[in-house]
Amino acid sequence: MREPFDLTTLIEPLLNWFKDHARVLPWRNEPTPYRVWVSEIMLQQTRVEAVKPYFDRFLKELPDVAALSDCPEEKLLKLWEGLGYYNRVRNMQIAAQTVMENYHGELPADYEALTKLKGIGHYTAGAIASIAFGIPVPAVDGNVLRVISRVTEDDADIMKASVRTAMEQDLLEIMPEKRAGAFNQALMELGATVCLPNGAPLCEACPWKELCRARKSGRWRELPVKSKAKARRIEEKTVLVIKAEDKVLLHKRANKGLLAGLYEFPNVDGHLKEEEVIIYLKKMGLSPIRLKKLEDSRHIFSHIEWHMTGYAVQIDETEQEYQNMLFVDVKETEEQYPIPAAFSSMVRTSPCSRSPGSIVIQKISCFA
């Protein structure tokens, strides 16, 4: 039987390492509850470097809970454009409204109260509570699950909720009371920069290299144990970027379901050939002047994968009205209309745009 691992031996080496190796990040400079909350929601399934410009823009436009609570939805979704998972920011606004009503506009300094706010689970509540308020509670994300599984050589399946719960309890028992925020951030930092998820971990740079059982046994490739997720459903789409002079046709999605309430380019199920696209456009009452095939692309959601083919379509008039569709000035798409990142491959994203991730439709060279 394997000897129990004394987790307390990890604390000091980790905190000493973090003191010297912590990255300089905008949300760490001023870790207020609101800033920590915004950063943690943005960082879910998005790289740190990608989040930085979004975080700065979001905080400039919505600097506090009150501003988030009162923000018009289309502006809110536009600020989130490029990060995906739009329900997250919708949930943030609902939570902000609750905070305004019940907590005088300040996030509560209470772990359990935080978990009751819309969209805030155990991890996010733990991050806010420990980093912003100094409350000694764990914040267990994928990085933490990986580094603890490896250092202890634990074969438990981290996809099981019971395993996460057990790890939260184990870390709660050893949490340094006066350095809880630093400890949680150090665990995450170690997983993000040293004990990497893909490829070989940088063991020689690790403060736990003499303690790590997976390193000693050579089993780091096998850990953590992670059962396979259910295969994503494949959906084929044909996307139509329809332009008339300096306007582009957008369709507003339904208020429920995937990408609810967002604007998109008109699209249909299946991969249409050019002649089928022309027939479809004529059924819409459109007379295409020119048609050009765009590069095929795909976009991955959590449970669905879109395989997209696309066409740039030029028409000569925009007078007709279409159900749930509107022609808008291409410049307005940058500022007013939130278009999901799923469609970004159909156009070019401007690296110098003021809005990170904005889809800059006017830069399409469709008919060169």
Q: Just list the catalytic residues.
A: 40
Contact, 350 vs 358, CB < 8 A? yes
Q: Which residues of 220-256 are buried (b: 16+ CB within 10 A; e: fewer)?
A: beebbeeeeeeeeeebebbbbbbbbeebbbbbeeeee
Locate 136 and state its tokens: 């000694």
Residue with tokens 């329900």: 87
CA–CA distance from 129 to each of 36, 120, 139, 167, 194 (Å)? 9, 12, 9, 18, 25
d(CA 320, CA 327): 9
- Provide the residue type at 172 as one letter: L
Cβ-contact 120, 88 below 8 angstroms: no
Cα separation, 130 vs 192, in Å, equals 19
C-alpha 54/C-alpha 136 separation (Å) is 29
Closest CA relative to residue 263, chosen from 345, 361, 336, 312: 336
What is the Rg, in whole angstroms, of the alpha carbon atoms belonging to the chain? 24
Bridge partner list, 60: none
Task: Could you list the beta-strand ranges (E) of 50-102.
Answer: none
**Sign of the C-alpha dihedral computed for residues 168, 174, 180 and 186 taken in this order:** negative
Local structure of 301: helix, strand or coil: coil
